[in-house]
Chains A and B, each alone.
Chain A
Amino acid sequence: MTETPAARDEDRDIVIRVRGLTNRFGEQLVHEDLELDVRRGEIYGVVGGSGTGKSVLMRSIIGLQRPEEGEIDVFGVPMLSASERELQAVRKRWGILFQGAALFSTLTVAENVEVPLREFYPRLSERLLDEIAAYKIVMVGLSPEAGPKYPAELSGGMRKRAGIARALALDPELLFLDEPTAGLDPIGAAAFDNLVVELRDRLGLTVFLITHDLDTLYTICDRVAVLADRKVVAVGTIPELLALDHPWIQEYFRGPRGRAAEEAVEEAEARAEAAEAAEGGAEG
């Protein structure tokens, strides 16, 4: 294969590259020849009906599910053939929130957040670890009382937030989120959306975001990939997707909930424009 310098430059901007991915459970084919590219610094939404294989896709990218076939590169490292040391270096640069939060049940919330820090940076002092855990916990919107609690003592939404705090512990460059706002109250979900955008803007985070939350899709995702028929059938901004006439996409975004979210976004934009215009008028 010959590569032009320009092609390589483009490569460097692609954080996750998946080619020809095939996953199978016994007779059931979950993915077939699936392809996707996630660019640096973008918030990449993944949608699809329940059971279309979003979680399985994430698990294959992070190396928990060995695919039957395909190539997966993360940060340019071929995940399926890399050595354990290379994999460890990649793991240092990502943070993962599982669908079920997957907190360590014998550790408190704060200790959970400290686990990746301890694992990868054993030289950090005990005091700094505790401080980092503390501000991360507040940052994801947990109340300070949640710090010394065990996962079994938390509500579902709190568990999710604790999972996010653990995923963010290392200030990763790449964040995998499997339905982060499912189980959060609307205020919390909106705050979470803000947090993700904020972190992306400040730290140049790349986010791989699986979600069913239309508000999240509309407000924060730069591009959205639609998973259907064992493939990524379309990738693009929401207006681009809306222009396609794939029946599932139309139903998903044009259904009553989809329209409500769309209207809310339009309304917010209109209000922002009006405010700007008013300001301009006052000045002039």
Chain B
Amino acid sequence: MSTVARFSEAQEDGRRVLRFAGDLTLPRLGPLPQRLDRLKGRDFVLDISEVGRMDTIGAWLLHRTARERGGEIIGADAGAASLLRQVGEADKPIKVRPDPPPPLLRVMDQIGTATVLAGRTMLGLLGFFGAMLISLWQVALHPRRFRLNAVVQRFEVVGVHAFGIIGLMSLLVGIVIAQQGAVELRQFGAEVFTINLIGRAAVKELGVLMTAIMVAGRSGSSFAAEIGSMKLAEEVDAMRTIGVSPLEALVLPRVIATVAMMPLLAFYAAILAIVGGGLFCWVSLEIPPITFIQRTREVVPLTDLWELLIKAPVFGLIIAMAGCFQGMQVESNAEEVGLRTTTAVVQAIFLVIVLDAFFAVFFTSLGWT
């Protein structure tokens, strides 16, 4: 005999009887719940004397049908009766998810929330910057609290491990710029100016911008994810209660390391971009390396290098701060860690580019052209 749950209908003494058979268990339910839902009418008698095994889900189906349709359950043995009693006792209205607000209200609510959030984020970042300065000051007063090991370890992660990828990227960008530039300049017979193009673009903008983007993607995101996961696991709270300031232990080492590594990485990126351009010039335009180097030294003013060295640490500060700040904002769940990590990277890159524009205006007005 098959054990799939099923029922048949019959009329007895003017009442409709539903006779159940088979196993009323989850794996054996099949389409029974749908069939029960489609049933019309009320006041059934549910006869379960022929049911084999039953689990709480089967019991729940019976209980619910009896409750909603004013029915009566007969033929339950001791085990079934106790299961029915158990689910009956557990029958309380429960919401599965929080109520969604009405649509119009929701839109307004979302706009409001977004506005408040944007304001809070700006204020929060400022506050975070302030708190960081204070803790920097504290560390300066008590130099023994400075976590040299943590900083050195971050040097490695943020800086040394990034050398490969940043080098490769810059080399390729250098080659591409040289190639594209040469095609255009050839029309004016000014191919030799490709060298100016590469040298100035690499040192002034490309090196530092590309590095900032790469560091934001590599390190800013990992700062946010690391600190975010630690917040979820209550590690940050634990630190506070032990008297360790999370700002000192988690944020400062990361910020200091990023600020320190950014100029090095940016300078290295600029050099490799020039090398890439030089390679292209050598191979394709037949400009010998010696000439290329000489010419680069002539056309790239020292102020371009100053610009790079001023911008890079500022960008590093922004990237590390955005990462750590977003990480510290994580409150409740894993999804938030992901969201905050994305926000950290987007915010960092956006702020870097906005600031780069300001720097451009500023340096021009200084006469550094």
A144 touches B86 (CB 8 A): no
Given A92-B27, A125-B34, residue A134 in contact with residue B97 (CB < 8 A) = no
In the complex, A171→B61 CA distance in Å?
14
The secondary-structure label for the interface of chain A is: helix
In the complex, A121→B28 CA distance in Å?
11
Q: Mark each residue of chain A from 102 to 118: 1 if its CB lies under 8 Å from any CB of chain B, else 0.
A: 00011010110010000
Given A105-B332, A170-B26, residue A132 in contact with residue B90 (CB < 8 A) = no
- A111 is contacted by which of B56, B97, B99 (Cβ under 8 Å)? B97
Q: Give every chain B residue within 8 A of A184 (Cβ-Cβ).
A: none
- B93 is contacted by which of A106, A121, A144 (Cβ under 8 Å)? A144
| Interface size range on B against A | 35 or more
The chain B residue with its CB closest to the CB of A103 is: B333
B56 touches A135 (CB 8 A): yes
Q: Mark each residue of chain A from 202 to 222: 1 if its CB lies under 8 Å from any CB of chain B, else 0.
A: 110000000000000000000
- In the complex, what's the smallest C-beta–C-beta distance from B368 to chain A, in angstroms? 50
B86 touches A111 (CB 8 A): no
B40 within 8 A of A: no
A130 within 8 A of B: yes
Docked complex: A178-197 residues within 8 A CB-CB of B: none
Q: Give every chain A residue within 8 A of B29 (Cβ-Cβ).
A: 121
The chain A residue with its CB closest to the CB of B91 is: A135
In the complex, A108→B94 CA distance in Å?
12
The chain B residue with its CB closest to the CB of A198 is: B86
Q: Give every chain B residue within 8 A of A63 (Cβ-Cβ).
A: none
The chain B residue with its CB closest to the CB of A117 is: B26
A144 touches B34 (CB 8 A): no
Among B57, B79, B98, B334, max chain A CB count under 10 A is at B57
A139 within 8 A of B: yes
In the complex, A124→B86 CA distance in Å?
22
In the complex, A110→B96 CA distance in Å?
5
Given A132-B60, A144-B92, A150-B333, residue A139 in contact with residue B97 (CB < 8 A) = no
- Interface residues of A, count at CB 8 A: 35
B96 touches A148 (CB 8 A): yes
Docked complex: B58-89 residues within 8 A CB-CB of A: 60-61, 64, 79, 82-83, 86-87, 89
Docked complex: A124-140 residues within 8 A CB-CB of B: 124-125, 128, 130-139
In the complex, A147→B94 CA distance in Å?
6
In the complex, A131→B89 CA distance in Å?
13
In the complex, A114→B26 CA distance in Å?
13
In the complex, A170→B27 CA distance in Å?
9
B94 touches A138 (CB 8 A): yes
Q: Mark each residue of chain B from 252 to 285: 1 if its CB lies under 8 Å from any CB of chain A, else 0.
A: 0000000000000000000000000000000000
In the complex, A111→B98 CA distance in Å?
11
Q: Give every chain A residue within 8 A of B37 (Cβ-Cβ).
A: 125
Q: Give every chain B residue within 8 A of A202 (Cβ-Cβ).
A: 79, 82-83, 86
B79 touches A105 (CB 8 A): no
The chain A residue with its CB closest to the CB of B337 is: A105
A132 touches B86 (CB 8 A): no
In the complex, A152→B228 CA distance in Å?
14
In the complex, A136→B97 CA distance in Å?
15
B130 within 8 A of A: no
- B331 is contacted by which of A128, A130, A152 (Cβ under 8 Å)? A152
B96 touches A134 (CB 8 A): yes
In the complex, A114→B82 CA distance in Å?
24
A151 within 8 A of B: yes
In the complex, A219→B236 CA distance in Å?
39
B196 within 8 A of A: no
Q: Give every chain B residue within 8 A of A198 (Cβ-Cβ).
A: 82, 86
B26 touches A134 (CB 8 A): no
Q: Give every chain B residue within 8 A of A150 (Cβ-Cβ).
A: 332-333
- A138 is contacted by which of B34, B55, B64, B92 (Cβ under 8 Å)? B92
Knowing that A139-B56, A202-B79 are A-B contacts, what are 20 other residue pairs whose CB atoms are under 8 Å apart, sorted by A's residue number? A92-B27, A105-B333, A106-B334, A108-B98, A110-B95, A123-B31, A128-B61, A134-B90, A134-B96, A135-B87, A137-B94, A139-B90, A144-B92, A144-B94, A144-B95, A148-B98, A150-B333, A170-B26, A171-B56, A201-B79
| 10 residue pairs from A and B, CB less than 8 Å apart | A106-B335, A121-B26, A125-B34, A125-B37, A135-B90, A139-B56, A139-B86, A148-B97, A152-B332, A202-B82
The 5 A-B residue pairs whose C-beta atoms are closest, nearest first, are: A105-B333, A152-B332, A134-B94, A147-B94, A138-B90
